[in-house]
Amino acid sequence: MSTAPARVVINLDLPGPTISRHLYGHFAEHLGRCVYGGFWVGEDSPLPHTNGIRTDVVEALKALRIPNLRWPGGCFADDYHWRDGIGPREQRPRTVNSHWGDVVEDNAFGTHEFMTLCELLGADPYVSGNVGSGTVREMSEWIEYLTRGDDSPMATLRRANGRDEPWKVPFWGLGNEAWGCGGNLRGDAFADLARQYATYVRDHGGNRVYRIAAGANADDYHWTESLMKALGQVEKSSNPVFQALSFHYYTMSGDWQDKGDATSFSDDEYYRTIAQAYRVEEMLTRHSTVMDRRDPHKRIGLVLDEWGTWWNVEEGTNPGFLYQQNTMRDALVASLHFDAFHRHADRLVMANIAQTVNVLQAMILTDPATGALVLTPTYHVFEMNTGHHDAASLEAHVIDDRRFEDVPLLSASASTTGESALISLSNLDAGQARPVVLDLRGQDVSGYGARILTSGSLHDHNDPSRPNTVRPRPHEGVSRHEKGLIVDLPAHSYVTVSLEL
């Protein structure tokens, strides 16, 4: 193996497709303590809140410039009937959350609370409609309730519940995981349902809905083909009945029976995790290829609206609540995904990490006993990447011979606004540092700066007693080089380099 520095070649004057800010989207399901105890603490809580919505959670997410929030699920969506969550809270019916812990749901957090949350965050709402156990009429009336401004029946009902003006709802999901918890359907059968339901998710007034059909489980390319076939040949001038389709992919070191431990893992388990994270690139490529055959102009978007790590739950917690810790390993899984997202910005229009608070690969963990709030390593990757939002992608050609078996140990991506550029670098080697030359071409660089996220161990994580064990800091290991810059990448580190052009 060569001891020479790795090299990343970037042509700064050749911008590519725009990296939509919506690739940095989030997901809040009625699952465990994501909504209740995460976002929602109730109006009687001693914690600072706005109408029951926890203030410090909102402020932390605003620092990420959170672009969109998907709700109410997930599997919960196809058991959720929106009328249960409107009107006076004391009159709302109690229901059973059969998917996640078999707990009773009091519907305190419903449509109005979610829309208030999105307004506080400055995020676009992404509502997942109920196809599995709902009806076409139910979904049609929900979009009317949310977005119509005149005296229609649903607009009148909304006003009776305290909201005069309609909301803007740009994104709408047509079901969730219809191949599993959303109905156990076959692809062709669901494709017809997606067409039917999409027809009745109407544009009211000035609201324009981007309809997203529930898509494949990971590498089920036949499901994607079924949905694309249902749309027919998508020509440049056509108006497809839905505008995007989704897929879901989770990363783990084991399998669905034993997913691996969140904080205690071997180097072999770490590299297995990284190898699984790399698979998202293959899936993005192959789903896109299936779509290209019927949509060469890329009118239909691809949405990865559930992604992230999935580990065995923390000991002593409800198995149905999916609460897990979050280490430097999770941060590197996130950085790898973002590099892949940037490379597929021509087709990938949205992605939503699962989930925002207290569930799976969360941004934020809250302590139910003390109320303490902790920012995870994954949170910091999102924050360090805000400069990529709505910037033009740049190809980053990695030249490096380091591998662990077949796993590349350096990942990179880049973007530009014309006046500045941001380069993301991940050293995935568990134990070895690596210098990397940034071979910068096509434009002069007048200034630079860098930040680094790393820690003494891949197992390091933040908790209420040590909230800053893993956090970003300025990186001094960058200097001029005859080809541009040279960057020192410590073992298991994530570095962003900002350029002034």
pLDDT (tens digit, 9 = 90+) per residue, 159-209? 999 999 999 999 999 999 999 999 999 999 999 999 999 999 999 999 999
Sequence letter at residue 98:
S
- The residues spanned by each domain of the chain are 6-11+395-500, 21-248+293-307+347-389
Beta strand 210-217 pairing with 403-404: unpaired
pTM for this model (two decimals): 0.97
Average pLDDT score, the chain: 96
Two tokens, residue 93: 């019916």
pLDDT band with cut points at 50, 70 and 90 for residue 239: confident
**Homologous superfamily (CATH) for 6-11+395-500:** Golgi alpha-mannosidase II (2.60.40.1180)
Helices 153-160 and 136-147 cross at an angle (nearest 10°) of: 60
CB 302 within 8 A of CB 244: yes
Contact 358, 379 (CB under 8 A): no
Predicted confidence (pLDDT) at residue 106 exceeds the cutoff of 80: yes
From the list 343, 195, 329, 212, the residue with the least C-alpha distance to 271 is: 329
Q: Would you place residue 4 in the very low, low, confident or very high pLDDT band (cuts 50, 70, 90)?
A: confident
Owner of token pair 């419903």? 110
**pLDDT score recorded for residue 435:** 97
Q: Over pLDDT 70: what percentage of the chain? A: 99
| pLDDT surpassing 80 at residue 237 | no
Is the pLDDT confidence value at 2 over 80? no
Of the candidates 175, 179, 148, 185, which has an alpha carbon nearest to the alpha carbon of residue 164? Answer: 148
Class of domain 21-248+293-307+347-389 as given by CATH: alpha beta
Region 369-395 average pLDDT = 97
pLDDT at 109: 98
Q: How confident is the model at residue 416 (pLDDT cuts 50, 70, 90)?
A: very high
H or E element, residue 466: none
pLDDT number for residue 158: 98
The pLDDT assigned to 161 comes to 98
Q: If you average pLDDT over residues 376-390, what whole number do you get? A: 98
**Residues annotated as part of the active site:** 177, 306
* % pLDDT > 90, the chain: 96
Task: Indicate whether 219 pLDDT > 80.
Answer: yes
Instruction: Confirm whether 6-11+395-500 and 21-248+293-307+347-389 share one CATH topology.
Output: no
Take residue 12 and report the two structure tokens written for it: 């700064």
pLDDT in tens, 270-292: 999 999 999 999 999 999 999 99
Per-residue pLDDT tens for 315-337? 999 999 999 999 999 999 999 99
Rounded CA separation 366/48 (Å): 14
Q: Which residues pair with 427 in a beta bridge?
A: 410, 493
Structure tokens at 297: 């102009």
User: How far is CA 192 from its chain centroid?
Assistant: 27
pLDDT exceeds cutoff 60 at 1: no
Q: Categorize the per-residue pLDDT at 233 as very low, low, confident or very high, splitting at 50, 70 and 90.
A: confident
DSSP annotation of 272: H
